[in-house]
Amino acid sequence: MIIEVENVRKRHNDTVEALRGVNLKVAEGELLAIIGPSGSGKSTLLNLLGTLDRPTSGTVRVAGHDVSTLTDRQLSALRALHLGFVFQQFHLAAGIPILDNVADGLLYAGRPLAERRERARAALERVGLAHRLDHRPHQLSGGEQQRVAIARAVVGDPPLLLADEPTGNLDSASGRQVLAILRELHTAGTTIVMITHDMDIAQWCPRRVRIQDGSIGEDA
Ligand SMILES: Nc1ncnc2c1ncn2[C@@H]1O[C@H](COP(=O)(O)OP(=O)(O)O)[C@@H](O)[C@H]1O
Ligand SMILES: [Mg+2]
């Protein structure tokens, strides 16, 4: 199992318990959609899987590591080696060529700049943007920016890609391109966990997990 979540609760503050005893296992190579109403705890769960946050109680294991036992330094290493993250807002660095936006995804690996740039170029080629390497994010469409964000997330070849509504800000044609890239990554062996509110996209995933009021409902 690349992900094992056991009895996880997450309290954001005194009044909000966003997750109320979640159990979830994801095997290597799965493509899974997380669905559910707004405010049901989807992003909270994905952030825990991405080790961006810690559970109030319960266990989150990613690639065999119990996240609560790791130091900040070990968490950084886990994220750098095992995880790619894509958000609804693309989170690219403004004013910086997309080649370097993507190459910066490899900073942790400590490789020379020329090698980071070559791997970034290859990742951008994979998402169909090899002809735009020196463009700045604002010179690209939303769909192209999201493809850059995916290239940055996968430039280090992480086994696990987490995506929080990656098509949420895109028109349907751009959304389809982004999904085609995710499908290729899945076919190549990447495990993908994707939040979506789009039922067409959810139907297209082999497994759907529904979250309601901080608990897992249907899982099929
Ligand atoms: N950082 C935070 N501080 C306080 N409450 C939060 C925080 N993040 C999320 N919440 C609350 O937790 C609940 C679940 O939020 P979230 O996980 O973002 O849901 P979803 O992604 O399904 O829309 C909501 O009630 C939300 O307002
Ligand atoms: Mg959300």
Annotated domain spans of the chain: 3-219
Kindly give, in sequence order, each residue whose CB lies less than 8 Å from that of residue 214, ignoring residues fewer than 6 positions away: 10, 17, 18, 19, 20, 21, 22, 40, 41, 44
Please report, rounded to a whole number, the percentage of residues in the chain having pLDDT higher than 70: 100
**Distance from C-alpha of 153 to C-alpha of 155, rounded to nearest angstrom:** 6
3-class secondary structure, 13: coil
What is the structure's pLDDT at 110?
81
Q: Does 19 have pLDDT greater than 90? A: yes
What is the structure's pLDDT at 29?
97
- Ligand 1 atom closest to Cα of 40? 22
Torsion of CA 92, 96, 97, 102, to 10 degrees: -40
Tens-digit pLDDT profile for residues 190-206: 999 999 999 989 999 99
Tens-digit pLDDT profile for residues 97-116: 999 999 999 988 788 999 99
Mean pLDDT for the stretch of residues 33-52: 96
Nearest CA to ligand 1 atom 3: 12
CA of 17 to the centre of ligand 1 (A): 9
Ligand 1 site, CB within 6 A: 12-13, 16, 18, 36, 38-44
Which of the four pLDDT bands, split at 50, 70 and 90, describes residue 185?
Answer: very high
- Ligand 1 atom closest to Cα of 211? 22
- As a whole number of angstroms, the longest Cα–Cα distance in the chain is 50
Assigned CATH class of 3-219: alpha beta
What is the structure's pLDDT at 189?
97
